[in-house]
A = this chain, B = another copy of it.
Amino acid sequence: MRIGAIEAGGTKFICGIGNEQGEILERISFPTEEPEKTLEQAAQYFQDKSIEAIGIGSFGPINLDRSSPSYGQVTTTPKPGWAGFDFVGYMKRTFPVPIGFDTDVNAAVFGEAKWGAAKGVDSCVYYTIGTGVGVGVYTEDKLVHGLVHPEGGHVLIRRHPEDNFGGLCPYHGDCLEGMASGPAIEKRWGWKGNELSADHKAWKMEAYYLAQAISGVILLLSPKKVILGGGVMHQQQLFPLIRKEVAQNLNGYVASPAILDDMENYIVPPGLGDNAGLCGALALGIEAVEPK
């Protein structure tokens, strides 16, 4: 099979062609502009590529309720032209093939479960920590959708005792995203994350916040892998700091050898690296052809 994959980010569109083995055969990327212009570029790319399906992992929020007349639309984004735009409808009119559609983080967690760090296990969570904080959840071999879709980047967390930063989230102020996103790091310290030294105290504080959310998800869902990606997690020094904080938070309570003895293989970077999003879109396209 040749499957079209779209990683539709808020600033960048990546389109590619892949196969059932999770291999990306080719790709292009271009800026995300007004929807018609952007999707016409995508359509031109996919034309004459003999694709049998398309998988889309999209920025959001999006409507994933198949019983809704607005299924497949981007909903309340401030991005010009996209609010209410019928993403799936547009693609479907242009390419009458099966179309898989989900959030960007659900795509990423799905790709990681199929071919990446969580290959072979039936549950995992994927956090992306960058401009925002997003979470994709995979349990009992299924993507979790629920009423809307997971928005676990906005959970409330305890403030670090040395932190006076107010938080950046327009909805919740000092929720996880408000305190631990890339822009929050920059605003708190006056420097972008990649301008701070690896031993700057910013990272211990960042680990403190991320570890709280991760500890919560471990307690609530007992996932078999916790995968941390996104621009902020390019700071490799965060991983040991986060693992240590999580172990302290759980304090031996979750009696699993994976957590007690092998945290290095439990809280991990994406196995697909920065390909997680595009491979995830590919996986969504494959599932649109062959639902489980």
Interface residues of A (CB under 8 A from B): 61, 75-76, 123, 135, 137, 139-140, 142-159, 171-172, 212, 215-217, 219-224, 249-256, 258-259
Contacts and interface: CB of A to CB of B under 8 A. Distances in A.
A83 to B, nearest CB: 12
A220 B139 contact: no
6 contacts: A142-B142, A144-B221, A151-B222, A154-B253, A155-B215, A156-B215
Nearest to A249: B156
Contact of A150 (B150, B222, B255): B222
Nearest to A149: B222
Chain B CB within 10 A, most for which of A158, A250, A253: A253
Contacts of A256: 147-148
Contacts of A135: 220
B146 A219 contact: no
A248 to B, nearest CB: 10
B140 A145 contact: yes
B148 A222 contact: yes
A66 B106 CA distance: 28
A111 B196 CA distance: 52
A66 to B, nearest CB: 12
Contact of A259 (B147, B152, B154, B221): B147
A251 B171 CA distance: 6
Contacts of A224: 146-147
B255 A222 contact: no
Contacts of A144: 123, 139-140, 221-222
Given A142-B142, A156-B215, A61 B255 contact: yes
A255 B148 CA distance: 8
A179 B154 CA distance: 22
Contact of A249 (B139, B140, B172, B221): B172
A150 B123 CA distance: 13
A84 B251 CA distance: 22
Contacts of A222: 144-151
A147 B222 CA distance: 5
Contacts of A217: 220
Given A140-B145, A171-B251, A253-B172, A151 B219 contact: yes
A224 B144 CA distance: 12
Nearest to A124: B146
Contact of A216 (B140, B143, B147, B155): B155
A256 B61 CA distance: 12
A129 to B, nearest CB: 15
A152 B251 contact: no
A221 B150 contact: yes
Given A143-B140, A145-B140, A151-B253, A220 B223 contact: no
Nearest to A122: B146
